[in-house]
Structure 1
Amino acid sequence: MSWPLVNLSTICQIDMGSAPKGSTYVELDSGVPLIAGAADYGDVFPRPKKATLEPTKLCKKGDIIICVRATIGDLNWADKEYCLGRGVAGLRVHDEKLDSKYLWYFIASIEDELYRNSTGSTFPQINKKVIESLEIPLPPLETQKQIAAVLEKADQLRKDCRQMEQELNSLAQSVFIDMFGDPVTNPKGWDKAPLSAIIEEFLGGKSLVAADDQNTEYKNRVLKISAVTSGEFKPKESKPLPNDYEPQGEHFVKTGDLLFSRANTTELVGATTMVFDDHTGLVLPDKLWRFVWKDEKSLSPVFIWQQLCEAGVRKEISKLSSGSGGSMKNISKGKLNTLQVVLPPLELQQKFERIYLKLRVELSNNQQQVKFADQAFNSLMQKAFKGELNL
């Protein structure tokens, strides 16, 4: 079934945000309108951030707030009246013709199209004309509500899966703190030692120039720093190496490696991850180190890794870094060797490792569910706005 395409500007009020007049900002509990903005305030989606005594355009409760700069297409609901700041727009539907939730999911389905119509290389943005020119399939209002209800249920399934992922990650951290306490303050009085007591060396790769021929198949790839910074190993964050370069055998990544980022921003320097799966042809760069243990049988690498991921320990690692600018910090092997770690009895370390690995299996299963839920939701969206959804 196909529905007529209707220009969005004829069934929806579109208000573009702008910077508030003057520079007077007040506290959030002042009772004056909040500014809903994204790009100016570093948010990843439109989120109320500050308040102003001189509001410009306002949106009302129930309006859709959409990002028009940087994170184009991100959406949020206005739960009360807001001042529309620069970087966002407010969408208010004509209730007798358009269901707001139906519009929400339609915009979510065309995010790629919005980016294609953006301008600007540093800060991509879309203007009012782009939004006004959107053509939306318009079935009867009751059908719109039915479609929105189906998509909302599928969307909630995605959110539930992602929430479970967060809870599993938080559970691993909670178990660590419950068993061992804060590694920095060491309230349980475990033995402590510098990393030099358990590390033979920090082994890094070489600074390599990646290949750039997109038509050639390469046998080896060198990791980017971004392969480590999220805490989960990402082998796809890598670049091809010329086929005539033969890396040293010890530079290849292998299962069980604990990898450490020696250079990054203040927040990300010292990021670590463990390699749990087999990967062929992945090579270390000079900015990533592998921990080479003095006696791996005397400790649990998983326990040491999770300890290095704790917030307090990350701060201690950051303190060891140097660099004049805020954009990139470095850690020397000598300073990293001085980092103090707690060393509980081996059986406790191994007990935690067993618990963590079980949680990791659950996390892997949940990630598959997230992938499935995303695919199902995207498929439903494509069918919904083509009139192919069986209601």
Structure 2
Amino acid sequence: MSNSTWTLVPLAECVTSVRAGVSVNSEDRPHAAGEVGVLKTSSVSGGVFKANEHKAVLAGDRLRVAEPVLGGSVLFSRMNTPLLVGEACYVESDHPSLFLPDRLWQIRTEPSRVDARWLAYVLQSTGVSYAIKALATGTSGSMKNIAKRSLLASNILLPPIAEQRRIAEILGALDDQLRVAGQIVNKLRTAKNALRSALYCDESGVNWNRDWPLMALRSVVTRIDAGKSPDCPDIPASSGQWGVLKVSAVGRDHLHPMENKVIPSHVHVDPSSEVRAGDILMTRANTPDLVGMICLADRSFDGHLVLSDKTWRINLGKSLDPSFVVEMLRASPSRRYIQNVATGTSGSMKNFSQMALLKMPVPVPDQSVQQRTAEYLSEMTTRIDAEEEAINKLRMAKEGVLSDLLSGRIRVPPESLS
């Protein structure tokens, strides 16, 4: 089937309005009844609208808010990091108590000509997304901005409205499958957290298991290694190159080796800071929720990775099982301790010292108990990994379908358009 009925048009011909909100003073908490909220830029992420990602607007600024979130619109991140600028999502329904900041645009269309859900998918598609990101400007390496004129001048392929709607339905069905799969993973994570609490904590879930002896972490740690953070381009190292870990490399379940920056060839690398299989890695500086994240280097990686100045390697004595320690440092008493000792004047970045970490009281049961405890949680992690692998496969399938449908390589059958 030919796509001769499709036309190449500037985005300006597809929208009726592009409006931003205003910057207001707010508190980093959800708004309460009778209050209003302003969206964070993180409310537009991965093609999904996350209404819970907002801040409560202070009373003195409530009359200044503008542009409420409307159903049937597309939200677009006009200012963000180089990776996230240009993110877009569709909004299903009105959110009268939520308003846009100045960094987000709300795009409206004429429904009889352009389906807003279809347009959101177009803006998320790889080719269009790359082209839009290329329009972003800014002298800061951490923040880029897209001009409205540039966005509206971008060209897209416009099919007939009936075909737009059918394409949106097909892609929406795949998104529904991804959403259900994500809910399964979230339930498994909740179950794992509950199991960890039952194993490591007393019945309150606040304090350590009373049957296990406590001692300072320093008594079972032989050494903590740290690295350096040279000035590196924000691209991952290739095979044979050296890369320095980002804090995002330390995931909640595993090491993410691709989260690194390639080290220029002229920079000296200390080989003693190279990450080895089985290393226990921890972030000493990050956002309040993520500071102290910990994982085992349990996934293979091609190339050479080194610690940064924000990541530590924790070396243990022979009396502790590494997997037991990692789960112990994820347990609520450890998280509460780390968040209490973490310091920093910035609300977005906290850090803590080796001395503070080594003072932390931790449980040290017999090695047989350690191994059995770690095995219980490892079984849960394996189930989560399997579900996430299925999600990744479904996401890749969706990307292929999205590309084929939005480019016209595969056309929706005419009989399905009635």
TM-score range, shorter chain: 0.7 to 0.9
1:117 to 122, 135, 140: 135
CA RMSD of aligned residues (A): 3.8
Question: Which digits, 9 at most, give the CA deviation of each residue in 1:362-384, with x for residues without a partner?
Answer: 33333332332222111112111
> Which string of whole-angstrom CA distances, capped at 9 and with x for unpartnered residues, describes residues 50-69 of structure 1?
56335545564333332222
Shift of residue 108, structure 1, vs aligned partner: 1.6
Are the aligned partners of 2:229 and 2:308 in contact in 1 as well (CA < 8 Å)? Answer: yes
Structure 1 residue aligned with 2:371 = 350
Show the 5 A alignment for 1:1-391.
Answer: 1-2=2-3, 3-19=6-22, 29-30=33-34, 34=36, 37-39=39-41, 43=43, 47=51, 49-50=55-56, 52-54=62-64, 56-57=66-67, 60-70=70-80, 71-77=85-91, 79-80=93-94, 81=96, 83-109=99-125, 110-122=128-140, 123-181=143-201, 185-186=207-208, 188-199=210-221, 201-204=222-225, 207=228, 219=240, 221=242, 223-226=244-247, 228-231=249-252, 232-236=254-258, 237=260, 239-240=262-263, 251-263=273-285, 267-279=289-301, 281-284=304-307, 288-296=311-319, 299-321=320-342, 327=349, 329-332=351-354, 334-391=355-412
Number of equivalent positions: 378
Q: What is the identity, as a one-letter code, of the residue corresponding to 1:349?
A: Q
Q: Percent identity?
A: 18
Query: Aligned equivalents of 1:239 and 1:19: distance in 2?
Result: 38
Matched position secondary structure for 1:12: coil
Contact 1:184 1:313 in 2 (8 A): no
Provide the C-alpha distance between the structure 2 equivalents of 1:285 and 1:113, rounded to a whole number of angstroms. 33
Deviation at 1:77, TM superposition (A): 0.9
Inter-CA distance 312–59: structure 2 relative to 1 (3 Å threshold): same
TM (normalized to structure 1)? 0.79
- Which residue type is aligned with residue 92 of structure 1? R
Tell me how far apart the structure 1 counterparts of residues 116 and 278 of structure 2 sit (CA, whole Å).
50
The separation in 2 between residues aligned to 1:23 and 1:207, in whole angstroms, is 36
3-state SS, counterpart of residue 407 of structure 2: coil
Say if 1:65 and 1:78, in contact at 8 Å, map to a contact too.
no
2:150 partner amino acid: V
Give the equivalent residue in structure 1 for 2:415.
Answer: none
The alignment partner of 2:131 has SS state of helix
In 1, Cα distance between equivalents of 2:37 and 2:407? 36
Indicate conservation of the 8 Å contact 2:247/2:286, yes or no: no
- Alignment TM-score, normalising by the size of structure 2: 0.75
Opposite residue 15 of structure 2, the aligned amino acid is C
Q: Shift in Å at residue 360 of structure 1? A: 2.8
Q: Deviations over 1:283-315 (max 9, x none)?
A: 44565443333224xx43212211111243123
Aligned residues of 1:73 and 1:114 also touching (Cα < 8 A): no
- CA distance in structure 2 between the partners assigned to 1:35 and 1:337 by the alignment: 40
Residue 4 of structure 1: CA displacement? 1.4
The secondary structure found in structure 2 opposite 1:178 is helix
Offset at 1:148? 0.9
User: 1:8–1:340: structure 2 CA closer, same or farther, 3 Å change rule?
Assistant: same
Instruction: Tell me how far apart the structure 2 counterparts of residues 139 and 241 of structure 1 sit (CA, whole Å).
Output: 46
Does the Cα contact within 8 Å between 1:227 and 1:235 map onto a contact in 2?
no
The one-letter amino acid of 2:107's match is: L
Aligned-pair CA distance for 1:341:
0.8
Code of the residue aligned with 1:115 in structure 2: it is: K
With 122-131 and 147-156 compared, the bigger mean Cα shift is at 122-131
Structure 2: gaps of 5 or more residues: 413-418
Deviates more, 1:66-75 or 1:101-110: 66-75
Which letter maps to 2:169? A
Bigger CA radius of gyration:
1
CA change 1:238–1:5 in 2 (3 A) is closer
Closer, same or farther: CA 15–78 of 1 in aligned 2, 3 Å: farther
Cα distance change on mapping 1:108 and 1:243 into 2, 3 Å: closer
2:134 maps to a residue whose letter is R
**Which letter does structure 2 place at the counterpart of 1:14?**
S
Cα contact 2:294–2:330 (8 A) shared by 1? yes
SS of 2:275's equivalent in the other structure is: coil
